[in-house]
Amino acid sequence: MTAHLLSPARLRGVTLRNRIVVPPMCQYSAEDGLAGDYHLVHYGRFALGGAGLVILEATAVVPEGRITHGDLGLWSDAHGEALARTARFLKGQGAAAGLQLAHAGRKASMQRPWFGNGPLGPDDLARGDAPWPVVAPSAVPVDEGWLVPGELDAAAMAALVRAFEAAATRADRAGFDVIELHCAHGYLLHSFLSPLSNWRSDAYGGDRAGRMRFPLEVARALRAAWPEDKPLFVRVSAVDGIEGGLTLDDTLAFAGELRRAGIDLIDCSSGGISGSATAARVQRDYGYQVDFAARIRREAEIPTMAVGLIVDPRQAEAVLAEGRADLVAVGREALADPNWALRARQGFEGWPAQAGWWLERRARDIDRLGPWAP
């Protein structure tokens, strides 16, 4: 019997060859937002490695929406043309091509992680990475020493909605099958959702409905701009994990509204409202975010993707077999082993022909020789 993990998944007019997803993981290696050879090879290896869907990293819809100077962008046709090469390659190797659209909000204009992962400073200026003004729902910085964002007004918010729409159109022309809207990890749309960062007193702040208003406007605009036969995902931080922050009940309400807006799947992460985007404020254990995906799937009645220390194909298979999610994202494990999906397939079905005839010979030699020892 075919494993759940290896079974196809149909989302609108797109069929994934399996339910293994490589989620967005920023590489901070673009020049002026343009994808290059690095991105083609980096993402291409996951398609060769057997993943069903490969989602490119957070891609800014305006230059000021980049996290760092190394982020991808999609604010011009030239950026779309640069990304199209990677989309073509992914699809040519049997994977679906995904792209995450984003605006970093008050966490824009940061250092690349290996330079400190904080606000830009003198050493960054010496490298040519100068800061730029940042925006947010409220003039509340991430932390002491960070840039104070300008509070977005109605005209600026309307312009950002148009920027997301334009980016979606360019992503479609570039050949992407799936787009994911980034509403997580402390970036702009998450900062509207969280009461820790949204202190507005107008219609876009205050209670849960007000805080959801702008993210839902963006989601609805994307659904209208994105082709009807292509799926649209939303990545959420299911909880802030900080007292007074976003709760799972908030996210369940948001997910229900997203479903009614025509969103096809919720990608369930957590944390990031302060500090590093990857600094989850919940206890890390194997599959530590799977419960979020399970509850949102069950209670908001929308498909979900589970992510978070999913390291073994048997673990991923159990998540799907138990009905806790519809797709499984394998991020850092894929960085460590781009062939993770092929190894999962080998455990259930065997290697594909191109690799199998080499590896079968290797296996016979290893069986004959026994384990290597110094």
Q: Is the pTM of this model over 0.95?
A: no
Using the Cα atoms of residue 79, residue 98, residue 129 and residue 186 in order, give the sign of their dihedral: positive
**Active-site hit among 187, 204, 286, 288:** 187
Amino acid at 289: Q
Question: Which residues are CB-neighbours of 240 under 8 A, at least 6 positions away?
Answer: 194, 196, 246, 247, 270, 271, 273, 281
DSSP string, 133-177: --EESSS--SSTTSPPPEEP-HHHHHHHHHHHHHHHHHHHHTT-S
Paired with 135 in beta bridges are 150
Tokens linked to 283:
């206890």
The CATH code belonging to domain 4-369 is 3.20.20.70
Amino acid at 368: R
Per-residue tens of pLDDT for the chain, all 374 residues: 468 999 999 999 999 999 999 999 999 999 999 999 999 999 999 999 999 999 999 999 999 999 999 999 999 999 999 999 999 999 999 999 999 999 999 999 999 999 999 999 999 999 999 999 999 999 999 999 999 999 999 999 999 999 999 999 999 999 999 999 999 999 999 999 999 999 999 999 999 999 999 999 999 999 999 999 999 999 999 999 999 999 999 999 999 999 999 999 999 999 999 866 555 566 788 999 999 999 999 999 999 999 999 999 999 999 999 999 999 999 999 999 999 999 998 866 666 677 676 777 777 777 877 777 78
Q: Nearest CA to 45 among 341, 258, 310?
A: 341
Say whether 187 is catalytic.
yes
Tokens linked to 35:
């994808």
DSSP state of 289: T
Q: Evaluate whether 177 touches 96 at the Cβ level (below 8 Å).
A: yes
Q: Evaluate whether 117 touches 110 at the Cβ level (below 8 Å).
A: yes
263 SS3 class: coil
Domain ranges of the chain: 4-369
266 SS3 class: strand
